[in-house]
Amino acid sequence: MSTQTYKKGSSWAALPWLGPALILIFGFVLWPMVELFLMSFRKVSVSGLIKGWAGLDNYRALLDNSDLAGTLKRTLIWLVVIVFFTMAISLPLAQLMNAKFRGQKFLRYSIIVPWAASLVITATSSKWILDPYYGILNTILIDLRIIKEPIDLLGDPKSAFICLLVVGILVSLPFTSYVLLAGLQSIPQDILEAAKVDGAGHWKGYWAIIFPLLRPAFLVGAVINAVYVFNSFPIIWVMTTGGPGYETDTTTTFAYKIAFRDQDIGQSASLAVGNFLIILVFIMLFLKLSKWKELDQQ
Amino acid sequence: MMKRNIRRISAFAAIGLAASLAATAAPAQAAVVTIKLVMASYTDAMTPYYTDLITRFEAANPGIKVELDVVAWPEIGQKVKTLIASGQSPDIVNNDEFAGEAADGLLYKASEIVSPSTLADIIPAFMTNSEYNGVAYAVPDLASARAFFYNKKILAGAGVKKPPATWAELTAAAKAIKKKYPNVYPLGLPLGVEEAQAEFTVWGGGNGARLYDTKKKKYTINTKAYLDSLLFLKSLVDQKLTQPNPGKTNRTDGAWTLFAKGKVAMVDGGVFLPDWLSKNGGKAIKWGAAPFPHAPGKSDVTLGVQDYFKGYKANGRVVEIRKFLDFLFIADNYQGFLKAAGGFIPATKSAGVKAAKDPIIGPYVALLPKAIFYPGTLGSWAACKSAIITHMGTAMLNPQRSLTAIQKKCDAANRK
Amino acid sequence: MKLDMGHKTKRRISQTGLSVLGITVALLFLFPYVSMLLTAVKPKSDITDIPPTYFPKHWEWDNFIKVFQELPFGMYIRSTILISVSTMILGLLASIPAGYYVARNNFRLRTPFLLLVLVTQMFSPTTLLIGIYREMSSLHLVNSYLGLIIINASFNLAFSVWILSSFFKSIPIEIEEAAAIDGASRFQTFRKISLPLALPGIVTTAIFTFIAAWNEYVVAYTLASSPSKQPFSVGLSLLIGYYEVKWNYLFAGSLIAIIPVFILFVMIEKYLVSGLTAGSVK
């Protein structure tokens, strides 16, 4: 396929074909970006009216916000922990999904469920399971004699954040494991056989032969997952609204809270600009890692 | 097979798109004037109440159509803000803040949105709380006062003879309850986002703390009085004399629910709690209501809260707004409102006379002179309140840190 | 997790082992949803038992019907279908021609275009919420279906273009050239030859967009302020937390909302894999 030739054409000829897509991209992805930048330099009243320009005041207020540092730290942990565990679990999981056994279909379909369910549903159900009074988890833990009296895992900042991480991993797994499964299935059968027969043993064969072939899928899965995780809002919002206090906020929920709870849209916009810059870093990373042009040309 | 499905899907889809375009195009045909309502959901009974009210209102006023949106308390501030900022300003809002909007010039004056006779019927003290810079911009819809509710059976069973009047008595009572009933949380402490500002105000108030100093025009949050009251609450939390998670417990889905089940022995309730209990599985609870326990050497206070109807200028619907609010304040309709909201103190004199005789509500009407109110006439209060609410979530871990943060945010809002 | 596939003697044991392992893992994934199901069929009086029981005392399956009276789920689902289906159509209308064109043509701005697409893929509406909100305000599209449809379609576009272009690229160009020699126009070739051949890709894209719109939360949470405009994800989240929540109905409704999406996923499972392969691996 790499020998494929392109028809040459002028960029104007492309317009009718690309037009609708360009309208959507420029009109509804890039325009909001511009609006966002402008808002971050504006003075906005508590009821949301624009009262003129604010210079760098919003940015100063943000840097002066006592909960910013903690939020940034948590965002980093959120990202790193979820992506790491997601990738580390999806690899064996994809292998399992690819293996032949009775119940394989059941496994594959079960993994689809968290993907099909909206994040709001999964988060709601998790919140219910974790409820200190009515939740089933406490009952299970008590019946197993692990704890003596009900605990409220979402009530304490540390344990709440850990619960959020676990749910974050759960909902990330379907996508990445299916990407890796797809990667596995694209590996020709004879190579797989060769890896098995390789007398040097299983693991060595796996890492030497199969993993390198999976690398592109792995990388793409990881970066897409990272972006997804970074932007993830409903899990935190539904389960804890970033609370107690601001102790489980990441930058996305923090920005929302500043805008709509603390009623400071200007400051929130300046944080959103920060988020925007972080995502730009991801994009650079992705472009560098994936050598996307080569990917495209293949 | 796949192909047939696709065809079916796309046919379906085409219908969907057409329908959605039709749906968005529809409002254009109006010769009828539409007013938009965003109303706080005191209880689940609000939506049926308004639906009925609107049906009758529309029948009586053929030229006016009413669009209703009943919103939960934690969402309503944000929703109104969203609508205003998006140029879709509502015409009437019922919630608990008005001063910020009055400062931004968004609101009609109270005298413009109800008839003089309706206005004359509102209790004067409540009108004063509706003023921004000396002009009333909102019409009070109802008010509430708080009391300290206790489960008579549990207190008696634990040998607590009378409801605790001071902090020391509260601690002692709580310990006695814990000892006798290990499965009961002695005090329900809802510091979650639903109404943490109420707990903060009323417990601090019992130690002489006030939110705002009107002479210095400054918020007075980061004070020793508030710190001591939080440290007192923290001592209860640390001794496991409260439910385990004050920072995320709300009233309605937490503290009160537990109280209704006899799992919490004492809780901050209000005039509306008895009604709530009867609707939410707490009928069997034998409750008593007492003044809040206070700090040594201080006197007890109650928290008075009043909410508002507000008319918004953006759509210029002052005539329709006035018609609707006057309709709502017709005696029977207003009684229905109070009933749906669930046992509050009425804002009108005429309904107040009746309420003063009510065995449950009456005592609270008498209690009002002892009440502290929020500084709701300040444009900055909404932002300050939000800071209190969020930071109460962690106040039981580090009270001083929370107070510092709240003070800073309230000062910033005050400067704006 | 060691997957022993090598030794024939151990094969049968490892088969059973794999089954046990696979089913255990599956159940772990299903746990939150099974737990929802068990709550959904509980009678109201069981819901707030402290501590809760594992299984309902009576299995009230008709909660799945009652939910439509108890909560406004019918309305939410109607809005959700309208929004998702329209998003899907709008998304396809924009992404199919673009995907096809970049797969088949080289033009000076091709690389910038692909880069642009890639960049938009990285941005979710969450980050740009305030911007979106301002824009929709000035277009008077706050609290409208159309606003949600356009935003959903725009932010899912990148993924669609990306996958579709890979699909079109995988169709041998010779087939199109043969058609062209027979005198077919550019558009005819596209419609008669390439489009049917890329069908699996199109279905995958369509379903992906549909699901993304079906489950979308943040934008609708911010923009759709009246209940009649809210998709079920928003409606659901707003029903929680401040009143005595009818958890059994809430979960019955949620499970109903999962089912169509789950069926769609299962329908395209085969294509899902090949679609992702095209999108991410090749």
| Three-state SS sequence of chain C | CCCCCCCHHHHHHHHHHHHHHHHHHHHHHHHHHHHHHHHHCCCHHHHCCCCCCCCCCCCCCCHHHHHHHHCCHHHHHHHHHHHHHHHHHHHHHHHHHHHHHHHHEECCCHHHHHHHHHHHHHCCCCCCHHHHHHHHHHCCCCCCHHHHHHHHHHHHHHHHHHHHHHHHHHCCHHHHHHHHHCCCCHHHHHHHHHHHHCHHHHHHHHHHHHHHHHHCCHHHHHHCCCHHHCCHHHHHHHCCCCCCCCHHHHHHHHHHHHHHHHHHHHHCHHHHHHHHHHHHHC
Which range is least confidently modeled, A32-41, A137-146, C269-278?
A: C269-278
Question: Is A240 near chain C, with CB under 8 Å?
Answer: no
Half-sphere exposure of residue B98, counting CA atoms within 13 Å on the CB side? 31
Kindly determine whether residue A155 and residue B82, on different chains, have CB atoms separated by under 8 Å: no
Handedness of CA A218, C22, A194, C274 (dihedral sign): negative
Of the candidates C82, C90, C137, the beta carbon closest to that of B85 is on C137
- Write phi, then psi, for B131 (nearest 5 degrees): -100, 140
Q: Which ipTM value was assigned to this complex? A: 0.86
Nearest CA in chain C to B3: C199
Which C residues 80-119 touch A at CB under 8 Å?
90, 93-95, 97-98, 100-102, 104-111, 113-114, 116-119
- A146 at interface of B, judged by CB pairs closer than 8 A: no
- Token pair for residue A193? 């056989």
Is the model's pLDDT at A298 over the cut of 80? no
Contacts of A132 in chain B (CB under 8 A): 243-245
Q: Which of C118, C161, C155, C109 has its CA nearest to residue A285?
A: C118
Show the tokens assigned to B399.
């009270």
DSSP class of A6: P
Confidence at residue C277, expressed as pLDDT on a 0 to 100 scale: 52
Residues 189-228 of B with CB under 8 A from A: 192-193
- Surface-to-core class of residue C239, CB atoms within 10 Å of its CB (0-12 exposed, 13-18 middle, 19+ buried): buried
Burial tier of C76 (Cβ tally within 10 Å: 0-12, 13-18, 19+): buried
What is the pTM assigned to this prediction? Answer: 0.85
Judge: A46–B249 Cβ closer than 8 Å, yes or no: no
Asked whether the predicted pLDDT for residue A208 surpasses 80, the reply is no
Nearest chain C alpha carbon to A235: C217
Q: Read off the pLDDT of residues B62-107 as tens digits, 9 standing for 90 and up.
A: 999 999 988 888 778 878 877 786 677 899 999 998 998 998 899 9
pLDDT confidence of residue A189:
76
Window 33-52 of C, Cβ < 8 Å to A? 33, 35-36, 38-39, 47-52
Q: Are A134 and C50 in contact (CB under 8 A)?
A: yes
What is the enclosing helix (H) or strand (E) of B372? Answer: strand B371-373
Cβ–Cβ below 8 Å for C227 and B69? yes
* A49/B contact by beta carbon, under 8 A: yes
> CA nearest B82 in A: which residue?
A48
- Which residues in chain A belong to E strands, given as ranges? 7-8, 42-44, 50-53
Contact A246 B390 (CB under 8 A): yes
Q: Which of these ranges, A190-204, A284-298, B248-262, has the smallest mean pLDDT?
A: A284-298
Nearest CA in chain B to C223: B82
* Cβ atoms < 10 Å from Cβ of C26: 22
Torsion of CA B124, B126, B128, B131, to 10 degrees: -130
The dihedral through the CA atoms of A250, A253, A255, A257 has a sign that is negative
* Angstrom distance (rounded) from CA C239 to CA B109: 34
Give the chain A residue nearest B386 (alpha carbons): A262
Q: Give the residue ranges of DSSP H helices in B181-314.
A: 196-205, 224-238, 256-260, 273-279
Nearest partner of C223 among C127, C137, C157, judged by Cα: C137
- CB-nearest to B390 from A48, A157, A261 is A261
DSSP state for residue B368 in the 8-state scheme: G
pLDDT of C218 over the 70 cut? yes
- Residue showing tokens 């105000």: B201
CATH topology of domain A55-297: MetI-like fold (1.10.3720)
Contact C3 A282 (CB under 8 A): no
CATH 1.10.3720.10 residue ranges for chain C: 65-281
Instruction: Give B83's contacts in chain C (Cβ within 8 Å).
Output: 142-143, 225
Structural tokens at position A7: 């028809």
Least confident segment among B47-56, B199-208, B290-299, C180-189:
C180-189
The string of pLDDT tens digits covering residues B30-42 is: 478 999 999 998 8
**Angle (CA) C221 C223 C226, round 5°:** 85
d(CA B284, CA B259): 11
Q: By C-alpha distance, which of B203, B343, B339, B351 is closest to B273? A: B343
Chain C residues with beta carbon closer than 8 angstroms to that of A142:
51
Q: Where are the beta strands (DSSP E) in B51-130?
A: 64-71, 92-95
Q: What local confidence, expressed as pLDDT, does residue A283 receive? A: 77
Res B275: pLDDT? 85
Determine, for residues B43 and C243 on separate chains, whether the beta-carbon distance falls below 8 Å: yes
B243 touches chain C (CB under 8 A): no
The DSSP letter of residue B241 is -
Task: Indicate if the pLDDT at residue C281 is higher than 50.
Answer: no
Binary contact (C244, B67; C-beta < 8 A): no
Instruction: Decide if C225 and B280 are in contact by the 8 Å CB cutoff.
Output: no
Asked if the model's pLDDT at residue C25 lies above 50, the reply is yes
Pairing state between β B135-136 and B264-270: unpaired
Q: Euclidean distance between the first and final Cα of chain C, in Å?
A: 28
pLDDT class for B9, splitting at 50, 70, 90? very low
Q: What does the alpha-carbon distance between residue B251 and residue B256 come to, in Å, rounded to a whole number?
A: 5
Which class is domain C65-281? Answer: mainly alpha
Q: How far apart are CA B371 and CA B302, in angstroms?
A: 5
Collect all residues of chain C within an 8 Å Cβ-Cβ radius of residue B88.
Answer: 137, 140, 142-143, 225
Amino acid at A130: L
Is the torsion defined by CA of B274, B279, B280, B286 positive or negative? positive
Binary contact (B416, A45; C-beta < 8 A)? yes
DSSP codes joined into one string, B20-39: HHHHHHGGGG--SEEEEEEE
The shortest CB-CB distance from B13 to any of C89, C200, C243 is to: C89
Contacts with A155 from chain B: Cβ below 8 Å: 244-249
Touching chains, B (3+ CB pairs < 8 A): A, C
Question: Cis (ω within 30 of 0) for the bond into C51?
Answer: yes
Every domain of chain A and the residues it spans: 55-297
- Look over chain B and give the mean of its residue pLDDT values, rounded to a whole number: 88
State the average pLDDT for chain A.
85
* Mutate: best of A4, A12, A22, A25, partner C, most C CBs <10 A: A25
CB contact under 8 A, B390 and A47: no
Residue whose tokens read 């690398």: A215
Q: How many Cβ atoms from other residues are within 10 Å of residue A191's Cβ?
A: 12
pLDDT reported for residue B63 = 92
| Contact: B82, C133; criterion CB under 8 Å | yes
The whole-number pLDDT of residue C7 equals 56
- Subunits that touch chain C (at least 3 Cβ pairs < 8 angstroms)? A, B
Distance, in Å, from the CA atom of B187 to the CA atom of B158, rounded to the nearest integer, reads 14
| DSSP H helical ranges for B208-301 | 224-238, 256-260, 273-279
Q: Contacts of residue B246 in chain A, CB cutoff 8 Å?
A: 155
- Rounded to an integer, what distance in angstroms lies between the CA atom of residue B144 and that of residue B390? 23
User: For residues A222 and A248, is the Cβ–Cβ distance under 8 A?
Assistant: no
For residues C254, C255, C261, C262, the Cα torsion angle rounded to the nearest 10 degrees is: 150
Whether C2 shows a pLDDT value over 60: the answer reads: no
pLDDT given at position B141: 95
Using a pLDDT cut of 90, give the percent of chain B over it: 65
The whole-angstrom separation of Cα C80 and Cα C152 is: 12
pLDDT at B354 exceeding the cut of 50: yes
How far, rounded to the nearest angstrom, does the alpha carbon of residue B75 sit from its chain's CA centroid?
A: 12
Q: Does the CA dihedral C14-C15-C20-C23 come out positive or negative?
A: positive
User: Phi, psi at residue A34, to the nearest 5°?
Assistant: -65, -45
pLDDT at C9: 58
Which residues of chain B does A69 touch, with a Cβ-Cβ cutoff of 8 Å?
Answer: none
Query: Is there a contact between C242 and B194 if contact means CB atoms under 8 Å apart?
Result: yes
pLDDT at A1: 38
- The reply to whether B382 touches chain A by the CB within 8 Å rule is yes
* Residue A137: strand, helix, or coil: helix
pLDDT in tens, C168-193: 888 888 888 888 788 878 788 888 88
Provide the 10 A C-beta neighbour count for residue B373.
Answer: 18
**Cβ contact (<8 Å) for A132 and B101?**
no
Provide the token pair at C225.
């302020």
Q: Secondary structure of A181-221 in the HEC alphabet?
A: HHHHHCCCHHHHHHHHHCCCCHHHHHHHHHHHHHHHHHHHH
Q: Which residue ranges form the domains of chain B, and what is each CATH number?
A: 12-143+305-369 (3.40.190.10), 145-304+378-415 (3.40.190.10)
Helix axes A119-130, A157-185, angle to 10 degrees: 140
